[in-house]
Chains A and B, each alone.
Chain A
């Protein structure tokens, strides 16, 4: 076995381990170090004064577990100690948190979190992310959100929720079909395709103004919009020139740049590289849908996937790795690979369809749609091997998740 450091991801060392399977080009495993957990004693954090304070403490504990970096110790045990008090006074929350090493004077964090409005959940998420950063020197995900499609009786609307499934909010209310939601990198806007004016057009929704505006409504299909890391452009699929092709649209001057020219093939599902220089996408130019990579300024496309009958739905993560769905023995399984397609690893094996994966900004977790017996729900996968967690327990079908920045 050959082991070498590959990439530094927010303190997590990603190492490539060459699996020495003998025959025909076995997958190369991407193994990550740094998965060890800190054992934290939270029994010293008290709540007083009202239900908001109690909620703060329970959400904070749950967030620490979901971060993947902590296990909760029995009272009096564990190397990391969280102590303090969350007090609720006439609707306002004040949480004083101290995180320290047991038996030493060293302190990771000593901070007061306040909220004038009784948003206990948001306050707990902020505290959890600060604790994750202070103790593990990595980015947390407690304050992030997930956008998805919820389907109830033929209505397919856009929803968002917190990364722990709380605070579920319906964004659109068109009574029709919405598909393929994605976040703008500022986290304040969404892009998606909606049929509410009769044809599939791309809209941008602004959380501040609560207004949606069409940003691509050319004749034919307008779908799969993904906003560039600088926020200035979208990559998307259009058929205005007579065939489904990949384009980049400049959102300031409206100019289009066509990236593919494949009269006998369809392109879909573009995703930008973290530096905005390249785009990974799906094309069926070789017969079945496979993943390709192209420079955002144009030029030839390089095929990245060869194994599996279909490889679809790529998401290029902040860690440089591309996660996607690969058809293996009739089911879609999640796989990830490096940006050249050289190293790859299968992440799921269960007999269900695992679709539309989306990286969390921590570069560790992945949201995906899981379909079994024709029912879909969203799960969170941990690439460092914690078991998958179901995001929502509500009725209806939930799919096409995209994780906020």
Chain B
């Protein structure tokens, strides 16, 4: 379990990394433009999975906290968009990197429906990244439904932390 305080440190650390690597200096322009997932073309098929994923990108090199979602919602809130922008920026300047977005739900709702909802969340994040000009062939989605909570509690606070889209970056083999 990560306390809120520790999470703030993680976020602050990420900002330092972002600033340090220069991505934060990007001026508002086409790069900062956010495409709402709702205006993505209806069918944007997933590309075939890679046969093998290489090593994960170490957290010391790049890390962004998960995107959090509202109850029963797959919409990416405006307050979460900076996370997508940070990932998109990193991927655009790091060509050999692939992304798996893991979609998670809280424990409420049935397991099967939550598998679909978790996938819907991961796909919404993917749509946002494609809107930020990340090639869709570099992105896969993996729903865990409610099977992998990061917080085993049963309060609203725990549920909020479990409704998430996690960025897992790999360096292509």
Contacts and interface: CB of A to CB of B under 8 A. Distances in A.
B112 A313 contact: yes
B119 interface: yes
Interface in B25-83: 38, 42-49, 53, 72, 74
A244 B120 contact: yes
A193 B154 CA distance: 26
Contact of B44 (A195, A198, A242): A242
B45 A355 contact: no
Given A199-B49, A284-B72, A237 B110 contact: no
B140 A221 contact: no
B116 A288 contact: no
Interface in B128-156: 140-145, 147-148, 154
A289 B115 contact: no
B96 interface: no
B13 interface: no
Contact of A220 (B43, B53, B141): B141
Nearest to A176: B147
Interface in A205-229: 218-221, 223-224
B95 interface: no
Contacts of B43: 241-243, 263
Given A156-B147, A237-B115, A242 B123 contact: yes
B111 A400 contact: yes
Interface stretch (A5-13, A94-102, A266-274): A266-274
A244 B45 contact: no
Contacts of A313: 110, 112-113
Given A177-B147, A179-B145, A269-B110, A244 B154 contact: no
Contacts of A179: 111-112, 115, 145, 147
Interface in B93-121: 109-113, 115-120
A312 B113 contact: yes
Contacts of B148: 177
A330 B144 CA distance: 24
A200 interface: yes
Interface residues of B, number: 33
Interface in A275-312: 282, 284, 288-289, 310, 312
A325 interface: yes
Given A199-B142, A312-B110, A400-B111, A374 B154 contact: yes
A288 B115 CA distance: 15
Nearest to A309: B72
B166 to A, nearest CB: 14
B150 to A, nearest CB: 13
8 closest A-B pairs by CB: A219-B46, A266-B116, A221-B119, A242-B44, A268-B116, A244-B116, A266-B120, A268-B113
28 contacts: A156-B147, A177-B144, A177-B147, A179-B111, A179-B115, A193-B115, A198-B53, A200-B143, A200-B144, A220-B119, A221-B115, A223-B143, A224-B115, A239-B119, A239-B143, A240-B46, A241-B43, A243-B120, A244-B119, A268-B116, A269-B110, A288-B72, A312-B110, A313-B110, A332-B110, A356-B110, A374-B154, A400-B111
Interface of A: 156, 177, 179-180, 193, 195, 198-200, 218-221, 223-224, 237, 239-244, 261, 263-264, 266-269, 282, 284, 288-289, 310, 312-313, 325, 332, 355-356, 374, 399-400
Given A219-B140, A220-B119, A224-B115, 10 more contacts: A177-B144, A179-B147, A223-B112, A237-B115, A239-B123, A243-B42, A243-B120, A282-B113, A312-B110, A400-B111
